[in-house]
Chains A and B, each alone.
Chain A
Amino acid sequence: MPDMPRARATDAAAESLGIALPVGFEALEPFRSTWGRCRSQEERNRLRAASNMEQLRALHAAGTPLLDTVFERLDHFPLGSLPEAEALLYRIVLGLAEIAPAVEIFGQPNVPNSPPLGDLKIRWSSGVRESAPEGPTRSTAGAQETTSLVKRDCERKVEIKFGRG
C-alpha cells in the first residue's frame, strides 16, 4: 500500500463514511472513521501511538470475536481486489494486527522504553519479477491501487523523513 499523500486523507475519510460495512459486522461501525481510514501500516502505527488503552481495548474487544467470520467473508474475494465494503472491513481488522501487541503483551500503546512508534517506514515488496516496456525512467505514481499490502511495483519515490531529530 503506497504512502497516502496528506491531501488525500480527507477524500479517504469521506469515502469511508459513505460505505456501509457488510451485514453482520455492525460492531465495527465505531471504528470506521479511525481504523477504517488507515491505508498503510505506517498510518495504523501512528494511530496506535496516538490512541489510549481504552480506545485500543475497544477495538480489540469488538474485533477479536469476529476474526473468523471476517476472514470467511474475505476468503470469497481475490486478495488485492476486495469490494469497497469488504475493503473497509479489512482495513478495520488490520488495525487488530497493529494493536495486538499493545493490548495482549505490553498493556500500553507503545513499546516500553522505546521512542514513539511513528518513526518507522514499512514497505511490502513482492520480490516477483515485473515486466515493463523499454523506455525512459517510469514514474510509478499511476500504479493501480490495491487492497492488498503487497505492492507489485517497486517502491515509489518517498521523501523519507523520520524521527524526532
Chain B
Amino acid sequence: MIDPSAHWSFARDLGLGRSWAETALHLSPETFAGERERIFRRLWLMVGRLEDVSEPGSFFVRDVPILNAEALVVRDRESTLRAFYNTCSHRGATVVNQRCGRSFTFRCPYHSWLYGADGQLRAIPSAENFPDIDPRQHGLRPIHLDVWNGFIFLNFAPAAPGQTLADFLGGLGELHATLPFDGYPFHIKMVSEFDANWKAGMHTFMEGYHITTVHKKTLTAQIVSRENPHFHFYDTRLFGPHSTLTSERNHDWRPTTPVMRFAMAQMPPAVLPRQSDSAERDFAAHPSINRIGIPNFGVETITIFPNVCLQPLGGGYLWMEFWPLAPGRTRVEVRLHSRTPPASARQEFAAALGAVAARDVLCEDFGLSAMQHRGFAMGANRRQNFGENEALLRHFMQSVEGYLNA
C-alpha cells in the first residue's frame, strides 16, 4: 500500500524558491505585447484534433486573436494536413468564412480568386488583367503545422520555428505520446470570455488550494478526501515550461439531489470515472498517468505551455484553451470529450446536465479570476504571493518571464 501523501508536490521539492510574481504581468500592455511576440508568435500552439479534419477536404478555421490571425487548417486531396493564413493574396479578404466544413476549393468572396485545399492559386477571373501575378507565387500563405498524439499544433513564426514541436514538448511529449485521446472523439465545446488575464485562466488548473473555497458547493464533495483536505496535487513533474500532475476523486461520491441523481443514473458506465484497475483501454489504465498508483485516481492535469490544459479522466478528457484578447480579457474554449455520442434521450439529458455542471464550475473559476483582476488593477500591491502548495503557479510565471526576457 502506497502512502499517497509521500507524493504530494510542494514548491521546495521542485526547486521553485521564488514565492511571488509581479501583478504587472497581468496588467501591463508592455507585457501583453511581449507575450504576443515572444510567446504566441514563436511557440507551438495547440489548435485542434486530427478527428476535426479526418477526411480529404475537411477543414476548420481557428482564430488566434492576439496575433490577429485566422488559420485555415485543411486536409488536402492527397490527405496532407496543411495550414494557411485565411487571407486572399489579391486584396486581402478572408477567403473561408465559416467555422468548418468540407471542400477541395476555396473561393474568395471578393473577386472569386480560387484556391485549392493545397493552398495553390487555381484560378483568377479575367486573368489577362493580372500579367504581374504568377499564380505559383500567390497561393495562400502557409503556417507551420505539426501533430503530436493527434493534436494539431501551429507555429506562427515568420521564418522557421526555433524548435521542432517534438523538441518543444520534450519529455512531456515523450511521456504522454501514447495516451489514447483518439478513443474519445465525441465532444461538447463551450466558448466564452471573461474579464481577466489569460494566465489567470491557466492558474485555475495549477493549484488545488482554491477547491474547497471556490467550489465549496460543487466539486468539493466529489474530489476532496478526508486524507487530503487542502487538495494537494500528487507527483507534479516539470518538463521545460510544461507539466503533468495527478489528483484524486471520491469514487463513492453520489449526488444527493433528485435531478442530479437521476442524470447520473442514466450515464453509460463508459463515461463515468473509473478506478485504475479498469480493464478498459483508457486513460485510467495507461501507465503515463497516475504513475504513483493512487487508488482513488481522479484526473491527470497536463499543462502544455502556453495556453492549454488537458485533463484525462476515467471516461474521457477535458481540454481547456485560453486565448488572450487584451491584458484583462480572455477567451476560453473548453471541450468535454467522451467515447461516443449519447445513444438515447436519457443519455443526452445526462450529458446536457454534465455540460451544465461543468460550465457552472468553470463560471465559479473565471468569476474569481475576474475579481482577482479587479484587485490587481487597484495597484495596491505590486506582487501576488504563492504558497508551497502553489508550486505550478511559480513555475508557470517563471516560464512566462523566461520567454519575455529571452
Cα distance A77–B344 when bound, in Å? Answer: 9
Q: Is A60 an interface residue (CB 8 A)?
A: yes
Task: Indicate if the CB atoms of A137 and B101 lie closer than 8 Å.
Answer: yes
Residue of B nearest to A164 (CB): B195
With A119-B193, A122-B190, A122-B359 already in contact, the answer to whether A67 and B259 are too (CB < 8 A) is yes
Contact between chains at B192 and A120 (CB < 8 Å) = yes
Could you tell me the distance in whole angstroms from the C-beta of A2 to the nearest C-beta in chain B?
A: 12
A129, B54: Cβ atoms closer than 8 Å: yes
Residue of B nearest to A152 (CB): B341
Q: Which of A119, A124, A163 lies at the interface centre, i.e. has the most chain B CB atoms within 10 A of its CB?
A: A124
Question: What residues on B are CB-neighbors of A155 within 8 Å?
Answer: 99-100
Q: Please, how many residues of chain A have a CB less than 8 angstroms from a CB on the other chain?
A: 64
Main secondary structure of the interface of B (DSSP, over half): mixed
Complex contacts, B346 vs chain A, CB 8 Å: 71, 74-75
Q: Does residue B187 face the partner (Cβ distance < 8 Å to A)?
A: yes
Given A154-B60, A157-B98: A104 and B103 within 8 A (CB)? no
> Pick the contact of A134 from B57, B185, B266 — CB < 8 Å?
B57
A25 to chain B, nearest CB (A): 14
Q: B344 touching A93 by the CB < 8 A rule?
A: no
Q: Are A135 and B103 in contact (CB under 8 A)?
A: yes
Q: Say yes or no: is B357 at the interface (Cβ < 8 Å to chain A).
A: yes
Give chain A nearest CB distance to B52 CB in angstroms.
8
Complex Cα distance A130/B352, Å? Answer: 23
**Are B345 and A90 in contact, with the CB atoms below 8 A?**
yes
Closest residue on chain A to residue B328 by CB atoms: A165
Inter-chain contacts of B353 with A (CB < 8 A) = 97, 100
Given known contacts A120-B191, A120-B192, A136-B107, A165 and B329 CB-to-CB distance under 8 angstroms: yes
Of A125, A137, A148, the contact of B187 (CB 8 Å cutoff): A125
A144 at the interface (CB under 8 A from B): no
In the complex, what distance in Å separates the CA atom of A41 from the CA atom of B351?
Answer: 12
* Given A64-B259, A100-B263, A100-B353, A113 and B364 contact (CB-CB distance below 8 Å): yes
* A163 engages B192 (CB within 8 Å): yes
Q: Which of B102, B105, B370 contacts A130 (CB 8 A)?
A: B102
Cβ-based interface call for A139 (8 A): yes
Instruction: Tell me, rounded to whole Å, the shortest Cβ–Cβ distance linking B107 to chain A.
Output: 6
Known pairs A129-B54, A149-B342. 6 more at Cβ < 8 A?
Answer: A71-B346, A97-B349, A111-B364, A114-B363, A132-B102, A162-B193
Chain B interface residues (CB < 8 Å from chain A):
51, 54-55, 57, 60, 96-107, 185-195, 214, 217-218, 257-260, 262-263, 266, 329, 331, 337, 341-346, 348-349, 351-353, 355-357, 359-360, 363-364, 366-368, 370-371
